[in-house]
Homo-oligomer: A and B are copies of this chain.
Amino acid sequence: MLKISELAAKTGLSAHTIRFYEKHDLIRASERSEAGYRYYNDSDIRRAEFVKTARNIGFSLEDISQLLSIRVDKTSHSCQEVTDITQHKLDEVNEKLSELESMQNTLQILLKSCCGGPEKATHCSIIEALDAGAVVKNRSAA
């Protein structure tokens, strides 16, 4: 049985965050001391670590909530439900990756074009490019 600060130490989540997750029904403390202190048993701890792992991977709290309800009643859920959540997350990640790669590309091109020196910015090609509407929407080999 761990107290909240011990669970915090074990998971790397802050006590604040653990309480916040409890509000959202992600983490549970099966027991309370007479004074109201939270106590986490092995099952609670495993659940908290599941949450931590899922969060580290990048799942949203809403995703984690769904994954948890599958986890606690596996026979009522299918592998497909799990892959749906995972695939949807992967799609999101891929979309953000595209955006970021495009930004990366544009920024690299801008940086290459500018001397970067201590000269006055009157001739700065980055400023010029922005003025000219330089949206390099290029998506080639990253």
Which residues of A are in contact with B by a Cβ distance under 8 Å?
A: 46, 49-50, 53-54, 56-58, 67, 70-71, 74-83, 86-87, 89-90, 93-94, 96-97, 99-101, 103-104, 106-108, 110-111, 114-124, 126-127, 130-131, 133-135
Contacts and interface: CB of A to CB of B under 8 A. Distances in A.
Nearest to A87: B111
A85 to B, nearest CB: 9
B121 A107 contact: no
Copies of this chain, whole number: 2
B135 A56 contact: yes
A89 B77 CA distance: 43
A82 B118 contact: no
A68 B133 CA distance: 14
A58 B103 contact: yes
A134 B54 CA distance: 9
